[in-house]
């Protein structure tokens, strides 16, 4: 298990405890149904430190390459003991997973143009996030199911609708988005166009989102701090979504794709000699 997946599990559990017979201790941390992440550039050092102090769960360094110098922002993030990872969009010939792992990243986000070979590199202690699109057709749904076979630990989707518009979506349109989390076998992160309010946060949780990714690029520091704190506080007020709440989509699709079994014919009764 990598650091990102471990972090998501800790967030869902809230107050820390230990396995076995040790009593669970309440450290005042409330459980949340989703994490709060922020995307920043390597030059946004002050923003990274401010977001970490505001309680962000993880920071994604955008535009990263193995040759990039991230020493300063890495030090700022790690001084607050905050999880961080990198976003990679390259061709994979520079061994991005190995370089990210050696740099200390807890995860690597593969952008839409990143080479798939990064999924198959040998480093096992770093989580890999694949970027996906919201399904628009039956072929998209099939592709989404096949993605489950890839050696990824999480997925990131950019919502096709503005986050403020989620609560106003018609039921079929909302259900089409909910298909994503119901289909994937691993956690789903959602990149949003703005900080969600309480109604939008509830909608995101109902979609099955495990992490809300805010963009800190071009945002003022005080605004980003306010957004992180507000979204985190709202999520603490929302009950967690049960792990397999509702209908299991994989089971449903399996049933839909199966050919109904023909009924067995009734046995022909044996006729004794002398009977009509």
Handedness of CA 229, 234, 237, 241 (dihedral sign): negative
pLDDT at res. 274: 56
Task: Measure the CA–CA gap between 180 and 249, rounded to whole angstroms.
Answer: 10
Element (H, E) at 249: helix 249-257
Does 215 score more than 70 pLDDT? yes
Q: How does pLDDT run across 51-96, given as a tens digit for each residue?
A: 999 999 999 999 999 999 999 999 999 999 999 999 999 998 899 9
Contact 5, 152 (CB under 8 A): no
- pLDDT exceeding 90 applies to what percent of the chain? 73
- pLDDT exceeding 70 applies to what percent of the chain? 81
pLDDT at res. 17: 38
Q: What is the mean pLDDT of residues 204-229?
A: 97
Does 244 score more than 50 pLDDT? no
Q: What is the mean pLDDT of residues 25-51?
A: 88
pLDDT at res. 61: 98
- Contacts of residue 99, defined as CB under 8 A and 6 or more positions apart, other chains included, come to 66
For 259, 260, 268, 270, 272, the CA distances from 265, given in Å and listed in that order, are 18, 15, 9, 15, 21
Q: What value does the mean pLDDT of the chain take?
A: 86
Surface-to-core class of residue 272, CB atoms within 10 Å of its CB (0-12 exposed, 13-18 middle, 19+ buried): exposed
Task: Measure the CA–CA gap between 72 and 236, rounded to whole angstroms.
Answer: 32
Q: Give all strands (DSSP E) within 94-210, no chain letters.
A: 107-110, 127-132, 154-158, 188-191
Does 269 score more than 70 pLDDT? no
Q: Which two tokens stand for residue 152?
A: 């990824």
Task: Measure the CA–CA gap between 141 and 176, rounded to whole angstroms.
Answer: 10
Query: Helix (H) and strand (E) counts for the chain?
Result: 9, 8
């Amino acid at each position: 298990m990598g650091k990102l997946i471990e972090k998501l599990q800790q967030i869902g559990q809230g107050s820390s405890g230990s396995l076995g017979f040790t009593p669970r201790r309440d450290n005042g941390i409330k459980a949340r149904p989703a994490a709060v992440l922020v995307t920043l550039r390597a030059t946004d050092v002050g923003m990274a430190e401010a977001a970490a102090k505001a309680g962000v769960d993880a920071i994604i360094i955008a535009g990263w390459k193995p040759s990039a110098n991230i020493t300063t922002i890495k030090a700022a993030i790690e001084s607050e003991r905050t999880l961080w990872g990198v976003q990679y969009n390259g061709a994979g010939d520079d061994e991005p997973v190995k370089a990210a792992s050696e740099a200390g990243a807890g995860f690597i986000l593969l952008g839409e143009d990143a080479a798939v070979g990064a999924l198959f590199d040998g480093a096992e202690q770093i989580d890999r996030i694949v970027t996906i699109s919201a399904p628009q057709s039956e072929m998209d749904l099939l592709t989404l199911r096949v993605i489950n076979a890839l050696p990824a630990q999480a997925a990131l989707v950019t919502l096709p609708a503005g986050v403020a518009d989620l609560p106003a979506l018609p039921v079929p349109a909302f259900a089409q988005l909910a298909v994503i989390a119901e289909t994937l076998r691993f956690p789903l992160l959602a990149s949003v166009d703005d900080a969600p309010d309480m109604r939008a946060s509830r909608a995101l949780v109902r979609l099955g989102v495990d992490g809300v990714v805010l963009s800190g690029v071009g945002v003022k520091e005080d605004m980003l701090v306010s957004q992180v704190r507000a979204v985190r506080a709202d999520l603490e007020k929302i009950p967690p979504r049960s792990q397999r709440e509702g209908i299991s989509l994989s089971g449903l699709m399996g049933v839909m794709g199966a050919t109904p079994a023909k009924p067995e014919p009734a046995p022909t009764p044996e006729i004794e000699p002398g009977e009509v």
